[in-house]
Amino acid sequence: MGAGGPLWSSASARGRGRGRLLLCQVAENTMIRLSHIVVMILAASLSSACGSETAGDRTVMLEVVNAEVQRTDDTTVLNAQLRYRFGDAVLDAMRHGVPVTLLVEARIVNRSNRPWLEVVLRTRRLYRLDYHALSSRYVLEDVSSGEQTTYSSYLALQDALARPPGLRLADDLSLPEGELVGSVRARLYIEDLPPAMRLSAYLSREWRLSSEWYVWTLGG
């Protein structure tokens, strides 16, 4: 009788082969789905970049509607309220699992000794807006603190950012006496997007969304 390996050895090898084939098929299907999502998002962004004058493009906006320093018994904080309306490319990205990040910049200067300006506060805060498809909820995350707030709809998220307290930009402020002037602005933070999306986002009016500086006087 010729020498040969046991029968279970060849069966095991066939099983491993089928397992590897199954894993390859799953990986291939996953990559196909991801590529479809990326192509869809890129197509929407490129459509905006080519200058299509749709109603959605005309209503895209980002605005700081109010900012204020609030003093309590325990602390002094800086809050800001934003009004925004994203275009189709940005909303499609969110609904396909791509978080959208807002960069909010704030500064307070003391102009009492003009022409010299004393910078009292300069801060940059990132806020990530995400959509969770399984729960159909929108999540706002303060990237610095990790604090998250969940909203039942996109409109609820919009409303929360537009009314007090809005976004908290700074805590435990220590402000000197003098002629204090504050300013706040916001923009979509394209740098936080996946690398494959950044080029088209830089070319898109919907993604290059930014506000003017909101300026107010704190005291004199």
Across the range 177-199, mean pLDDT stands at 95
| Lookup result for tokens 């002037």 | 181
Q: Is residue 138 a part of any domain in this protein?
A: yes
Q: Look up residue 25 and give its two tokens.
A: 């098929």
Distance separating alpha carbons of residues 205 and 95, to the nearest angstrom: 19
The conformation of residue 179, written as its DSSP 8-state character, comes to: -
Across the range 36-46, mean pLDDT stands at 49
pLDDT, tens only, 58-91? 588 999 999 999 987 788 999 999 999 999 999 9
Q: Is residue 7 a part of any domain in this protein?
A: no
Asked if pLDDT for residue 98 goes beyond 90, the answer is yes
Residues spanned by the domain of 153:
55-219
The conformation of residue 209, written as its DSSP 8-state character, comes to: -
Distance separating alpha carbons of residues 53 and 33, to the nearest angstrom: 30
The number of residues making up the chain comes to: 220
Q: Is residue 20 a part of any domain in this protein?
A: no
Q: Is residue 147 a part of any domain in this protein?
A: yes
pLDDT of residue 151: 97
pLDDT of residue 120: 94
pLDDT, tens only, 100-155? 999 999 999 999 888 888 999 999 999 999 999 999 999 999 999 999 999 999 99
The conformation of residue 204, written as its DSSP 8-state character, comes to: -
Q: Is residue 11 a part of any domain in this protein?
A: no
Please answer whether residues 67 and 216 qualify as being in contact, where contact means their C-beta atoms are separated by less than 8 angstroms: yes
Distance separating alpha carbons of residues 106 and 84, to the nearest angstrom: 18
Q: Is residue 158 a part of any domain in this protein?
A: yes
Q: Look up residue 6 and give its two tokens.
A: 């046991």
Element counts in the chain: helices (H) and strands (E): 5, 9
Neighbour-count burial for 23-32, b at 16+ CB within 10 Å, e otherwise: eeeeeeeeee
Asked if pLDDT for residue 11 goes beyond 80, the answer is no
Name the burial class of residue 202, with classes exposed (0-12), middle (13-18) and buried (19+) by CB atoms within 10 angstroms of its CB. middle
Model-level pTM greater than 0.85? no
Domains of the chain: total: 1
Across the range 198-203, mean pLDDT stands at 93
Across the range 178-202, mean pLDDT stands at 95
Measured from the Cβ of residue 67, the count of other Cβ atoms closer than 10 Å reads: 24
Q: Is residue 21 a part of any domain in this protein?
A: no
| Lookup result for tokens 């309306």 | 85
Where do runs of H (alpha helix) occur along the chain?
7-49, 55-59, 88-95, 154-162, 195-203
Q: Is residue 150 a part of any domain in this protein?
A: yes
User: Residue 87 — φ and ψ, nearest 5°?
Assistant: -85, 180
Confidence of residue 21 (pLDDT cuts 50, 70, 90): low
